[in-house]
């Protein structure tokens, strides 16, 4: 009896400790949000439409140490085949490997001059280029970005370098089976091609690359966000002058693209791994950032699987004692759906769930958001967590510039960045219940199971 009381006391102390940690975390996040809000109010971003139609978002921050420049090109017509996806990846990687006015060596010298902080990321929705530099090199960075947007030429040597870089990235960061299952499930729910087979990179020609470039990298789909310490009128003038001939139109009218068709329901995809851990993943569709349901869905995500007070962690990890990692991921800026996940060791204890039972544990907690709506306390906690997570995404100048540009290019408008915390704070229980009914009813799933010995 004493041991049971002692165990109960320790569990209460542990619960109190976790709750205290989460409260402190939320307070810190809210303080970060307040600081960011004060900064935004003091300076404030502005949008300028250049003569060529490019939208330029300027957000001067006099106290910053660096300048972040983020270029977005919206992928309105998603790639329809793995081959087209491979062409798009090669084009994105070859943008800075030479142009009509600069050799490969000259471009590399320019990248080194601005600090080498150049990142290119392709998602189902956008091509995003981020350059971080010091204020004195901002004009060189602007020239570098504009020259690539206008005049990348995709010579055979550039394409070969891009292929080698893509293959090197895959070799340096090989996907474990969890990541492979995660990415495959994400592509399935979004209705987009999976990552192309590296073999396809070898068949991308200069003609294909140039055609893709001319058809997709267009002024009307381009947004450039600049944040940090810079002279706004000078930066605006430089972009306007350097992009005056960025007047590209599609070489031919593009046939209307069929919207991506998600694949939901059906049997779970299964993967076999030689390791000891097993994973269950369940994915659902999500609202677009322009959808009025988007803020409520962020709160739903926080309630379901963000932090130690989320339903997944409390009811699966704490109450049932199952799983090493349990939660839910939702990275809208990467074009991903909501994916709930559970990792466990099937051979560790007799009580370990069978794989189908693990999937049921995840789906059962999703179901409770409809059958057992959030309490008032859960709603407050989830709203605060969502607001805090948003604040943490604004810690660096590059992240603040990225979010302004991403909201703008996705159609929500750059002002959505400042408005989102207020929308999150106004989410109600009925809002969360509505989006749960709308988006959680159809799911796709995957299992990563240790191979039989």
pLDDT of residue 22: 54
Q: C-alpha distances in angstroms, 83 versus 5, 88, 184?
A: 63, 9, 17
Rounded CA-CA distance 52/341 in Å is: 45
pLDDT of residue 319: 82
Q: What is the pLDDT along the chain (453 residues), one digit of tens a residue?
A: 333 344 344 444 444 444 444 544 444 444 444 444 444 444 689 999 999 999 999 999 999 999 999 999 998 766 667 888 899 999 999 999 988 888 888 888 888 888 867 899 988 899 999 999 999 999 999 999 999 999 999 999 999 999 998 888 777 666 677 888 888 899 888 877 777 788 888 889 999 999 999 989 999 999 999 999 999 999 999 999 999 999 887 666 555 555 566 677 777 888 777 767 889 999 999 999 999 999 999 999 999 999 888 999 999 888 888 878 899 999 999 989 999 999 888 776 556 778 888 899 999 999 999 999 999 999 999 999 999 999 999 999 999 999 999 999 999 999 999 999 999 999 999 999 999 999 998 899 999 888 765
Q: C-alpha distances in angstroms, 274 versus 83, 176, 348, 357?
A: 31, 11, 16, 21
Domains of the chain: 12-38+265-450 (3.30.830.10), 46-242 (3.30.830.10)
For the entire predicted model, the pTM comes to 0.85
């Amino acid at each position: 009896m004493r041991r049971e009381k002692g165990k109960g006391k320790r569990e209460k102390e542990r619960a109190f400790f976790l709750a205290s940690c989460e409260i402190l975390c939320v307070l810190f996040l809210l303080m970060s949000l307040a600081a960011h809000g004060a900064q935004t109010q003091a300076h404030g971003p502005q949008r300028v439409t250049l003569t060529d139609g490019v939208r330029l978002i300027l957000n001067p921050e006099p106290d910053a140490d660096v300048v972040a420049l983020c270029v977005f090109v919206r992928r309105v017509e998603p790639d329809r085949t793995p081959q087209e996806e491979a062409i798009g990846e090669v084009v994105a990687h070859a943008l800075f490997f030479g142009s009509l006015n600069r050799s490969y060596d000259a471009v590399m010298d320019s990248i080194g001059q601005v600090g080498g902080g150049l990142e290119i990321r392709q998602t189902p929705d956008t091509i995003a280029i981020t350059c971080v530099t010091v204020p004195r090199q901002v004009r060189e960075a602007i020239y570098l970005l504009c020259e690539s947007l206008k005049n990348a030429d995709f010579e055979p040597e550039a394409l070969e370098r891009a292929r080698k870089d893509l293959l090197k990235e895959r070799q340096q960061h090989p996907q474990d089976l969890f990541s492979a299952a995660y990415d495959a499930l994400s592509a399935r729910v979004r209705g987009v091609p999976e990552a192309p087979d590296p073999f396809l990179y070898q068949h991308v020609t200069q003609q294909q690359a140039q055609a893709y470039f001319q058809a997709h990298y267009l002024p009307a789909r381009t947004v450039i966000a600049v944040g940090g310490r810079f002279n706004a009128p000078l930066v605006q003038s430089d972009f306007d002058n350097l992009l005056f001939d960025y007047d590209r139109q599609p070489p031919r009218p593009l046939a209307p693209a069929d919207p991506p068709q998600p694949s939901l329901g059906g049997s779970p995809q299964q993967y076999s791994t030689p390791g000891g851990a097993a994973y269950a993943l369940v994915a659902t569709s999500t609202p677009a950032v322009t959808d009025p349901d988007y803020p409520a869905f962020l709160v739903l995500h926080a309630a379901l699987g963000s932090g130690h007070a989320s339903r997944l962690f409390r009811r699966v990890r704490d109450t049932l004692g199952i799983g090493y990692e349990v939660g839910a991921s939702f990275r809208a800026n990467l074009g991903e759906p909501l994916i709930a996940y559970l990792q466990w060791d099937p051979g560790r204890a007799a009580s370990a769930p069978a794989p189908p039972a693990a999937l049921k544990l995840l789906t059962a907690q999703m179901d409770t958001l409809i059958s057992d709506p959030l309490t008032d306390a859960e709603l407050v906690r989830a709203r605060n967590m969502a607001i805090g997570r948003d604040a943490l995404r604004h810690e660096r100048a590059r992240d603040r510039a990225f979010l302004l540009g991403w909201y703008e290019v996705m159609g929500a408008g750059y002002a959505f960045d400042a408005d989102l915390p207020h929308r999150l704070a106004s989410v109600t229980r009925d809002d969360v219940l509505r989006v749960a009914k709308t988006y959680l009813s159809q799911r796709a799933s995957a299992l990563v199971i240790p191979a039989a010995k």
